[in-house]
Amino acid sequence: MSTNATTWFYTEPERDPYLIEERVNHTLWDARMPFLYFACVRAEPPFSMVGRGRGAEMEIEWEVGKVFTLRVSNGLSEKDLSNLRRGFSLVLGIHPPSLAYEDADGVQVTEWHTDGGEQRWQQIQGQVRFGNPKRHPK
């Protein structure tokens, strides 16, 4: 199966968990990220998947054509996290990610917004539950 983000991020995918898993995982594997595997936990907007890669637990969630969020727990090295972000940027065609922060549980959160994420950036400003916020302007 040949697939890319246009079949599940930029266009609403079928609401079938198996097909979503197939599309997303094959897209990631084709993008040279074979160490990742995600299982669908929500097959309707916002779509959500959980997975593992490089020993870390991960979650991805997206609103079709708007925002894609990656959450990474159990710690990755800064280099591995940076490479993971770069890989998702390539898959989504949004370079670089719009913003990143650490949540109250120590989970590393990265968001890609098709509109640049300015409104979201304003929402997290001054909120203590968003630790170490970083803006990645285009």
Q: What is the pLDDT of residue 74?
A: 79
Query: Containing domain of residue 92, as a range?
Result: 5-135
3-state helix, strand, coil in the chain (%, to 5): 30, 30, 40
Look at residue 49 and give its three-state secondary structure: strand
| Rounded Cα–Cα distance for residues 71 and 100 (Å) | 10
What's this model's pTM, rounded to 2 decimal places?
Answer: 0.94
Q: Is the pLDDT of residue 138 over 70?
A: no
What's the whole-number mean pLDDT along residues 39-54? 97
| Rounded Cα–Cα distance for residues 104 and 85 (Å) | 20
Q: What is the C-alpha R_g of the chain? A: 14
Within 8 A by CB and 6+ apart from 83, the residues are none
When pLDDT is cut at 50, 70 and 90, the band that residue 43 belongs to is very high
pLDDT tens, position by position, 56-71: 999 999 999 999 999 9
Tally of domains in the chain? 1
Q: What is the pLDDT of residue 39?
A: 98
Q: Is the pLDDT of residue 111 over 80?
A: yes
When the pLDDT of each residue in the chain is averaged and rounded to a whole number, the result is 93
